[in-house]
Amino acid sequence: MNYIYALIDPITKQPRYVGKTDNLSRRLATHLKDRSHCHRAHWIQSLLSQGLKPTLLVIESIPSDQGWQERERFWISHYRNLGCTLTNNTDGGDCPPSTKGRKLNRTEAGRRNITAALVERNKSPEMREASRQRGLSRKGVPMPAGFAERVRQWMTGRKHHTKQFKRDLAKRNKTREYDSLKLSEIQHNLPQEIKNRISQAVTDSNRRRTGIKKSRPPTAKQRKHMSEAQLNLDPEKKARISQAVSESNRRRAKSRK
């Protein structure tokens, strides 16, 4: 079934475009997505910028085995005679031009200009924020059915790296392992004093990197308060504190050896 339809302006309530389709919902969606440089597309985009949409009104239904060209010409002529300002560029009866299979002959300079414009557009903060918002909106949304299978088929048989690249990578990894083993052997044969100095330097470096300050010994006033607090403790708590201090001193002395 073919349909002759009209797009109604939501502001003036008058028809602004007359066309033919065999799928009403798909044709309306195509009109709303159209970004071409024609009178009809500019009119629809102006409505969308105001938060409005044209209304699709079916004027006449025509069976598929009958011609629709003459009826489209009739309705375009009819509305024009009524004084409606239609956005149709022709008198009707012709199929819309298609770009399918048509190769665009662009010059090398034109290609470079298009590439530069796209790169500059993607650098703008607005485009980056829009891309980030699209990514957040897709977070947690499951992939369509069959998507993983299509990716698997697409990746099957692809050469990620050459054999020479894999050999070089394995050689570098073996070299790193050998260097690590040699370093551990050298450190094992060092004197204990040198080992302690290296360990202290590593500890100080980690403390500076993590922002941890080196603990300072308590002052005389702090020691006095600590001793007064310990005098008021129960004998059982004093014994536990004394045992913990002894174990701490023992571990510290053991680490220095």
User: Which pLDDT value is given to residue 161?
Assistant: 67
CB of 256 closer than 8 Å to CB of 196 = yes
With respect to CATH, is domain 2-81 assigned 3.40.1440? yes
The residue that leads in pLDDT, 235 or 104, is: 235
30 pLDDT above the threshold of 80: yes
User: Which pLDDT value is given to residue 99?
Assistant: 47
User: Which pLDDT value is given to residue 98?
Assistant: 47
Give the max Cα distance, the chain. 111
**Across 36-40, 90-94, 150-154, which has the greatest mean pLDDT?**
36-40
Q: Of 12-16, 58-62, 171-175, 247-251, which range is least confident? A: 171-175
User: Which pLDDT value is given to residue 122?
Assistant: 73
User: Which pLDDT value is given to residue 57?
Assistant: 92
Mean pLDDT of 118-139: 79
The residue that leads in pLDDT, 151 or 78, is: 78
pLDDT tens by residue, 74-106: 999 999 999 888 998 888 877 654 444 455 556
Of the pLDDT bands very low, low, confident and very high (cuts 50, 70, 90), residue 228 is low
User: Which pLDDT value is given to residue 251?
Assistant: 80
**Cβ count within 10 A of residue 20:** 21
CB of 59 closer than 8 Å to CB of 75 = yes
pLDDT tens by residue, 186-215: 666 777 787 778 778 877 777 776 665 556
Written as six digits, the tokens of 204 are 């100080």
CB of 89 closer than 8 Å to CB of 47 = no
Residue closest to 241 by CA, chosen among 224, 227, 253: 227
In percent, the amount of the chain with pLDDT more than 70 equals: 79
